Amino acid sequence: MDSVTPQPDHAVAALPMRGEFTGFSRFRCTLVLTECELTVQKLGTWGRKSGTVTVLDLQDCIGCRAYGAEDGQDTSAGLAVYFYPERRHCARLSCSAARRREELRFRVAVSPEPRVNLEEAQRWSRAIRHSSYLRTGGVCADMTSPRRFLVLINPQSGKGQALDLFNNHVKHMLQEANITYTLQVTERQNHARELVREADLSQWDSVVIMSGDGLLFEVVNGLMEREDWEKAIQTPLGVLPGGSGNALAASIHYYSGSKPVSGKELLVSCGFMLCKGLVSHLDLTSVCLASNQRLFSFLSLAWGFVADVDIESEKYRHMGAARFTMGTLVRLASLRVYKGKLAYLPAEESQAPSSSASSEVSFTDGSKSCLVHSSNSNCQDHCLHNSCNSNNAHNPNWADESPATSKGPADTLLVPLDQPVPTHWSVVKEEDFVLVMAVYQSHLAEDLIAAPASRLEDGTIHLMYVKAGISRQALLRLFLAMEKGTHLSKNCPFVVYVKVRALRLEPYAPKGIITVDGEVVEYGPVQAQVHGRLARIITG
């Protein structure tokens, strides 16, 4: 070693650092630590370089630990460093890249004194953690001090294996990253929502959801129902895919620029991002229902084909993510037309919808009373009546919950549902649809890239609708293209895509399915407005 002088506990050594160690398969090596990399140079006999050099990017490092010898005779100390680099692997005809765990262990024996060796190992451990943190470019994360998470697991999500998946694939990563956590397995629907509504959030640095998108929907709404919602919703959220759709987890992986992965590889990728702890903003959309209820949504609002498939495919839950493919095929066989009225506020005043639909959009000549600029224009502040008589065949998960939240930012773009939309909104002329979906993330499921241009905090609702008249084959082709996110470049005349800030949907039929973030909500007129950067989320 170059230096054996013990450092005070809080000090981080100047870089570059260089030292000689013994690897655990007894080879001698030199370690060089810079701001970006840890280089391992194997040494041959008499300390000569053997030529084998391994360079590890600290961006891939989630943690490091120093430990004393377990054997009483041994005076050396140990240093363990945990990396999760992306490794290419090829199977049959396709190649992909996924994060794989690599643990490096070194023995520190610079002195006959165990204490000195341990202090030296700790000095390296501190420096590696600190450099990894800086390399990640973190402003909110700090890998140098322990973090505390609340981890919520829905044991019923996906194929019912979320707890096992957490124990087998995530638990050790959190330990390696020096993260302690309180584990709460949910016992019933709305358990997580009630818990975060009441909890002392100051105990945790992050609330992590290991489930599908439904549990996160509960958590977001629980936080927004608190008296201190403004502060509570700033709690960094973490997502670990344990459900069947896992749309937000897949979106976050996609935004990181990594190659597409699914299943356990997506879980490890999300676990890695959680350990790195970079925090980004997340847009939320407020969704106002006819019964005066207001919900907060991070993912989607769907009606027609997509909503039906999502809910009807519940019976194929045992198939995992394949349940959506099965549901799509079944619904395609009995393709339906959904009648209703759709209006929206374009994201940019001049924006025309893509595809051939521009000629089919008109502007309302609505009444002067429509425009509301009041700061107190939340939809629940207005008395309104559900003209569509929501006598649902499906039991909406949220209908029998507590009264609508009056918390959250005002919906300054919306007017009461019983008034016409403002005059500067666009009203879609067609009233026959196959599907309407408003999404605010790229993915609608692990393998469905519904809005490839969407980002966490773009302040935009990506509205897509498919007009009646599309053939079964064309609709199937559309969903196949969506697996790659290429469906919007196919110029299908029945598909319309437009970026909006707010929208209103008024179904004509008294019964049907509307989903928000994949959860059934009360059926009837609904409107929504995006609120940019309202929440925060851990990303890569």
- Known catalytic residues? 213
Q: Report CA torsion sign: 473, 475, 478, 479.
A: negative
Stretch that binds ligand ATP, among 60-68, 120-128, 150-158, 468-476 (CB under 6 A): 150-158
For residue 67, what are the contacts with CB-CB under 8 A and spacing of at least 6? 77, 78, 80, 118, 121
Q: Is 189 in the site for ligand ATP (CB under 6 A)?
A: yes
Residues 154, 242: contact at Cβ < 8 Å?
yes
Pick the closer one to ligand ATP by CB: 233 or 516. Answer: 516
Pick the closer one to ligand ATP by CB: 189 or 412. Answer: 189
Q: Is 221 in the site for ligand ATP (CB under 6 A)?
A: no
Q: Which of 313, 264, 311 is nearest to 511 (CA)?
A: 311
Angle in degrees, CA 478, 483, 488, rounded to 5: 45
Q: Is 214 in the site for ligand ATP (CB under 6 A)?
A: yes
Name the minimum Å distance from CB 155 to ligand ATP: 6
190 vs 204: CA distance, rounded Å: 20
Residue nearest to ligand ATP (CB): 212
CA-based radius of gyration for the chain: 27
> Site for ligand ATP (CB under 6 A): which residue of 125, 132, 156, 460?
156
Q: Which of 283, 287, 303 is nearest to 295 (CA)?
A: 287
> Site for ligand ATP (CB under 6 A): which residue of 41, 76, 132, 157?
157
Pick the closer one to ligand ATP by CB: 211 or 286. Answer: 211
Q: Is 300 in the site for ligand ATP (CB under 6 A)?
A: no
For residue 93, what are the contacts with CB-CB under 8 A and spacing of at least 6? none
H and E: helices and strands count for the chain: 11, 27
537 vs 141: CA distance, rounded Å: 12
Pick the closer one to ligand ATP by CB: 152 or 534. Answer: 152
Name the minimum Å distance from CB 193 to ligand ATP: 8
Positions in 88-127 near ligand ATP (CB under 6 A): none
Q: Is 522 in the site for ligand ATP (CB under 6 A)?
A: no
Residues 201, 207: contact at Cβ < 8 Å?
yes
Q: Is 218 in the site for ligand ATP (CB under 6 A)?
A: yes
Q: Is 76 in the site for ligand ATP (CB under 6 A)?
A: no
> Site for ligand ATP (CB under 6 A): which residue of 9, 70, 71, 187?
187
Pick the closer one to ligand ATP by CB: 154 or 206. Answer: 154
CA distances to 274, 282, 449 from 208, in Å: 9, 15, 24
Name the minimum Å distance from CB 4 to ligand ATP: 52
> Site for ligand ATP (CB under 6 A): which residue of 119, 213, 283, 506?
213
Positions in 360-419 near ligand ATP (CB under 6 A): 397
Pick the closer one to ligand ATP by CB: 113 or 314. Answer: 314
447 vs 461: CA distance, rounded Å: 20
> Site for ligand ATP (CB under 6 A): which residue of 222, 238, 243, 396?
243
Name the minimum Å distance from CB 481 to ligand ATP: 22
Pick the closer one to ligand ATP by CB: 245 or 524. Answer: 245
Stretch that binds ligand ATP, among 33-41, 152-160, 272-280, 498-506 (CB under 6 A): 152-160
Q: Is 211 in the site for ligand ATP (CB under 6 A)?
A: yes
Name the minimum Å distance from CB 295 to ligand ATP: 13
Pick the closer one to ligand ATP by CB: 158 or 422. Answer: 158
Element (H, E) at 46: none
HEC sequence for 49-96: EEEEEEEEEHHHEEEEEEEECCCCCCCCEEEEEEECCEEEEEECCEEE
* 432-439 vs 338-346, strand pairing mode: antiparallel
> Site for ligand ATP (CB under 6 A): which residue of 30, 186, 293, 328?
186
235 vs 364: CA distance, rounded Å: 40
Q: Is 446 in the site for ligand ATP (CB under 6 A)?
A: no
End-to-end CA distance of the chain: 35
Using CB under 6 A as the criterion, which residues of the chain lie in contact with ligand ATP when the complex forms?
A: 154-158, 186-189, 191, 211-215, 218, 243-246, 397, 518-519
